[in-house]
Amino acid sequence: MKKILFLLCLFCVSLLLPVAAAAVGNISVNSTPPGAMVYLDGTSTGTRTPAKIESVTKGSHIILLRLTGYQDYIQSVTVNNNQTTNISAILVLYPTAPPTISTITPAYGFNNSMVSITNLSGTGFSSGATVKITKAGQTNISATEVSVTSTKITCNLNLNGKTAGLWNVVVTNSNGQSATKSEGFEIRPPPAAITLSSITPNYGMNNSIVTITNLAGTGFLSGATIKLKKTGYNDIPGSVTSVVSSIKITGTFDLHGRTLGSYEVCVENGAMNSVCGLVFTVYSSDTPINGSIYIESYPSVALVYVSSDYKGKTPLTVYNVTPGTYTLLLQKSGYLDWSGFITVTAGNRTYVTPRLPPEVKETTPIITVPTKTTTATSTIKVPTVWPSATTTPASPVSILAILGAVGVGLIVLRKR
């Protein structure tokens, strides 16, 4: 009897086992944005959203979604037999730091042109970021052709007709976070035309860096750039040490390996304001250096002509002069011309320090005309003033007689 009961129990268990194996369901997973990796109970399913996980054992399970740049999404789900459990997840971005702005190049432009921003540098820029400049009371200027990396933005700004002054630079990421550089960009009125008058020195060797001590002219602005230009060859960019003033620039040119010959000197205040002129010569390193002339006049700023060729204004160094004898002429308004002969020898510098005498202006002498004086004769007789101009001394006797008469008069008056 006991054996029969045991066999019956085994039979019942065998009937129940297939039913337990069939207790499974499905999980359907969607996310915004899609593409998240799906994990079930900590194990990757090898699928990305949207995904369907089939034959999941009935009961409670943990679903984890993971997508780069977003926070992990975790949800507990219950799977029922022969049913599909749906999950719809909205993924949340990791919190990010707002962008920052370091510098903007160039930091100015003219209100009669388009300016290309070649490097708006900073951090945290994201794809789709926008750029604009703003100023109180003025319409914002939005940049065009914006190209973005995480640390650099390039773009264009149309400044035509815009108000001159300092403007704020604003970068806004696609998530709404922004950075502002207050008064980081300046709109300027059109500058005066650039002129070039001389460059010192005006030559260099192609195995050296030449230092320009004085590129003279007018209309130079802070931020001006310099270069040497030769048709058919690459430009030689210069490095500006300082825009000393609107009439003087100092800097350097790296001439190593450059093509020999004559170049034009170019100065640029911006793409819309540049000029080329003067002559700069690049010589071979084995070319013997000719002589030079240094002229310093008193007073200074006199025009210098060497054998009738204008060279500049004093104080001035004329380089690369072929040895020989030359005529030197200095001129300055208000002073007499100075001229003379100078001799230049190879490898040496000739010094000339003339003093210009002031110009003497001719003056008209003042002639004094004598004035004729007419004396009128009066017909009125002038009475004789007493005593007369010539007096006769009184005699002692006459004085005694007068005193006596006075005394008698006094006695008579007393008796009365």
Apex 232 CA angle, 227 and 238, nearest 5: 10
110 and 176 in a common domain: yes
183 and 200 in a common domain: no
Q: Any idea what the CATH number is for the domain that residue 181 is in?
A: 2.60.40.10
**pLDDT at res. 392:** 45
Q: Radius of gyration (Cα) for the chain, nearest Å?
A: 54
When divided into structural domains, the chain yields a total of 4
| Residue 61 pLDDT > 90 | yes
- Quick one: tokens of 276? 């080329």
Last residue of a domain, one of 283, 318, 341: 283
Structural contact between residues 87 and 26, judged by C-beta atoms closer than 8 angstroms: no
**How would residue 76 be classed by pLDDT, with cut points 50, 70 and 90?**
very high
- Provide CB contacts within 8 A for 38, sequence distance 6+: 29, 44, 45, 47, 48, 49, 51, 53, 63, 64, 65
Q: Structural domain of residue 182, as residue ranges?
A: 100-188
206 and 147 in a common domain: no
Residue 381 lies in a domain: no
Q: Is the peptide bond before 201 cis (omega within 30 degrees of 0)?
A: yes
Residue 35 lies in a domain: yes
Give dist(CA 268, CA 221) in Å, integer: 9
Average pLDDT, the chain: 84
Residue 137's region, left for phi above 0, alpha for psi from -120 to 50, else beta, is: left
Give dist(CA 285, CA 292) in Å, integer: 18
Last residue of a domain, one of 169, 188, 207: 188
203 and 134 in a common domain: no
- pLDDT tens track for 134-160: 999 999 999 999 999 999 999 999 999
Give dist(CA 247, CA 244) in Å, integer: 8
232 and 217 in a common domain: yes
- Quick one: tokens of 6? 């045991």
168 and 112 in a common domain: yes
**How would residue 378 be classed by pLDDT, with cut points 50, 70 and 90?**
very low
Structural contact between residues 47 and 56, judged by C-beta atoms closer than 8 angstroms: no
**Closest C-alpha to 238, from 204, 272, 287, 261:** 204
**pLDDT at res. 190:** 85
**How would residue 94 be classed by pLDDT, with cut points 50, 70 and 90?**
confident
What is the pLDDT averaged over residues 150-171? 96
- pLDDT tens track for 219-249: 998 889 999 999 999 999 999 999 999 999 9
- Quick one: tokens of 67? 């997508």
**pLDDT at res. 399:** 56
**pLDDT at res. 95:** 75
**How would residue 6 be classed by pLDDT, with cut points 50, 70 and 90?**
low
**pLDDT at res. 20:** 47
Residue 3 lies in a domain: no
Percent of the chain surpassing pLDDT 90: 61
- Quick one: tokens of 5? 């009961």
What is the pLDDT averaged over residues 367-395? 48
What is the pLDDT averaged over residues 296-317? 91
130 and 108 in a common domain: yes
* Type of residue numbered 93: L
- Lowest-pLDDT range of 113-122, 127-136, 361-370: 361-370
**pLDDT at res. 69:** 81
Give dist(CA 221, CA 225) in Å, integer: 9
Strand-pair partners of 117: 155
Residue 392 lies in a domain: no
**How would residue 174 be classed by pLDDT, with cut points 50, 70 and 90?**
confident
307 and 266 in a common domain: no
**Closest C-alpha to 159, from 275, 274, 271:** 271
252 and 271 in a common domain: yes
Please state the three-class secondary structure of the chain as a single string: CHHHHHHHHHHHHHHHHHHHHCCEEEEEEEEECCCCEEEECCEEEEEECCEEEEEEECEEEEEEEECCCECCEEEEEEECCCCEEEEEEECCECCCCCCEEEEEECCEEECCCEEEEEEEEEECCCCCCEEEEECCCCCCEECEEEEECCCEEEEEEECCCCCCEEEEEEEECCCCCEEEEEEEEEEECCCCCCEEEEEECCEEECCCEEEEEEEEEECCCCCCEEEEECCCCCCEEEEEEEEEECCEEEEEEECCCCCCEEEEEEEECCCCCEEEEEEEEEECCCCCCCEEEEECCECCCCEEEECCEEEEECCEEEEEECCEEEEEEEECCCECCEEEEEEECCCCEEEECCECCECCCCCCCCCCCCCCCCCCCCCCCCCCCCCCCCCCCCCHHHHHHHHHHHHHHHHHHHHC
**Closest C-alpha to 71, from 40, 30, 36:** 36
Residue 270 lies in a domain: yes
248 and 211 in a common domain: yes
Give dist(CA 250, CA 213) in Å, integer: 5
Last residue of a domain, one of 188, 209, 241: 188
205 and 154 in a common domain: no
Residue 332 lies in a domain: yes
**How would residue 16 be classed by pLDDT, with cut points 50, 70 and 90?**
low
Q: Any idea what the CATH number is for the domain that residue 303 is in?
A: 2.60.40.1120
Residue 73 lies in a domain: yes
**pLDDT at res. 68:** 86
78 and 120 in a common domain: no
**pLDDT at res. 404:** 57
Structural contact between residues 228 and 255, judged by C-beta atoms closer than 8 angstroms: no
What is the pLDDT averaged over residues 324-352? 89
Residue 367 lies in a domain: no
